[in-house]
Structure 1
């Protein structure tokens, strides 16, 4: 790709573009969030060492296969940033991570324990059709082994993606399902076809291939931590805005 940095852009041109493409508010908000983070970490004495920045930079270089210093410099030039700006970005991300863990690491475990049942999962298959009589007939044919659940999904489901996947929805959290669907799914047996159940989408036939107990995996931990931290950022920014307005 040609070197874009040879063509200069004025700040007002960048701002105008972001506004016209409805991206200005999002960027503006992220900048204010960073102010909140910088203030909160300064008040709490949270810092990032040069060694931590170096370790994170080494990991990023490894992921991007930037084996030589010249490779890294070429990549940074392509991104139109300096090495110092790259390190400042790493510093900001590490500060954010440290702050979120300082504020909510213990709360994540507590929240998970209190809401453990919500994080149970199932490997779910389903068929959705528009007509209740069709759903009932499919259920009868599946029970009589005239057609398999997977074949019925492939031929009759209203959703193209599910048809291609023979009804597979993948692993679904309990809290992602609507109450009436939850009750039917989690009270059934493995391999049992449940339904038809009517929703605004149509008539559902459901089958669980696997029940997955709730577990605080590293991915789940990070999801909960990020959610709590984001809520905190929103609240802190609102407080900042109201303080300045008063």
Structure 2
């Protein structure tokens, strides 16, 4: 028979502090307060029907197909039914507030920054040795090796090696300047000369340059980016005061931890 163990609120708080998760939780708490306060100010609300629809959608997406499944999930996460309702309400309120604040700003933002959303389908191998990278570059150019060979020999990450360094669609704004300058000056398909950055020496194979289109996926990404930026700006206006017990070092017998 398995042994039982009781986990208290104090245990959870202690664990959160010991694993240095207070800053992460602070950010989430402030985000919720910013959303609540702003929604109240601009009159964004969630009604009962919207809440029910959002709860049904959440249960469907998480395969909580019965009341029993839902209760099991709530118990696993130590949530009451009221907690679950509040969880759904905040998420729904966040989405409604996003639409209220930024729906009419998406198109102007896209046309101003559309170059940032130009994408490239690319494969990449990052090396530490520039001379080796140059040697491998010419080996590929001269047909002595393939990019596939180099990826399988020099990529350490197992999953990335299996994909031969495939990075998917990468947007200009998500690249280091040195890489974006080289990538978007090229024509696809093309194998680039080694590019040196602070991360190492990059061997890059360009498959396709993709011009941006303001489809639903990109609309959602832009609105999400704008919302995140706004949350960060609003959160920075707050001074965080944690009303938690102070366990800082209090006597000389403990200061050896900080002596070096």
Mark yes or no: TM-score above 0.5: yes
Partner of 1:38: 36
Pick from 125, 147, 150 the counterpart of residue 148 of structure 2: 150
Q: Distance in 1 between matches of 2:7 and 2:17?
A: 19
DSSP 3-state at the match of 2:208: strand
Give how far 1:114 is off: 0.7
- Give the corresponding residue for 1:100: 98
1:86 pairs with 2:48 = no
Q: How far does residue 100 in structure 1 lie from its aligned partner after superposition? A: 1.7
- Among 165, 168, 179, the alignment partner of 1:167 is 165
**Scaled by the length of structure 2, what TM-score is found?**
0.78
What is aligned with 1:68?
Answer: 66
SS at match of 1:239: coil
Contact kept, 8 Å, 1:130 with 1:158, in 2: the verdict is no
The answer on whether the counterparts of 1:131 and 1:203 sit within 8 Å (CA) in structure 2 is yes
CA RMSD between the two structures: 2.7
Equivalent residues in 2 for 1:169-184 (5 A)? 169-184=167-182
Q: 1:158, CA displacement in angstroms?
A: 5.3
Identify unmatched segments of 5+ residues in structure 2. Answer: 241-260
Q: Which residue of 1 aligns with 2:205?
A: 207
Gaps of 5+ in 1: none
Structure 1 131/234 Cα, relative in aligned 2: closer, same or farther at 3 Å?
closer
The answer to whether 1:229 aligns with 2:197 is no
SS of residue matched to 1:48: coil
**Which residue of structure 2 aligns with residue 26 of structure 1?**
24
2:108 is aligned to: 110
**Mapped contact 1:127–1:205 kept (Cα < 8 A):** yes
Kindly indicate whether the alpha-carbon contact (under 8 Å) linking 2:120 and 2:209 is maintained by their aligned counterparts in 1. Answer: yes
How many residue pairs align between the two structures?
Answer: 237
Structure 1 contact 128–159 (Cα < 8 Å) conserved? no
**1:50 maps to which residue?**
48
Instruction: Summarize deviations over 1:132-167 as a string: whole Å, max 9, x none.
Output: 443333333322323222223323x35445544323
Between structures 1 and 2, the one with greater helix share: 1
Q: Deviations over 1:157-183 (max 9, x none)?
A: 354455443232322111222223222
Distance in 2 between residues matched to 1:231 and 1:136, nearest whole Å: 40
Distance 1:234 1:178 in 2: 22
Query: Do 1:37 and 1:96's aligned partners in 2 also have CA atoms closer than 8 Å?
Result: yes
Corresponding residue to 2:194 among 193, 196, 208: 196
In 2, distance between residues paired with 1:65 and 1:158? 37
Instruction: Quote the offset at 1:198 in angstroms.
Output: 2.9
Residue of structure 2 aligned with 1:77, choices 66, 75, 78: 75
| Partner Cα separation in structure 1 for residue 73 and residue 126 of structure 2 | 48
CA distance in 1, matches of 2:91, 2:220: 14
Aligned to 2:8: 9
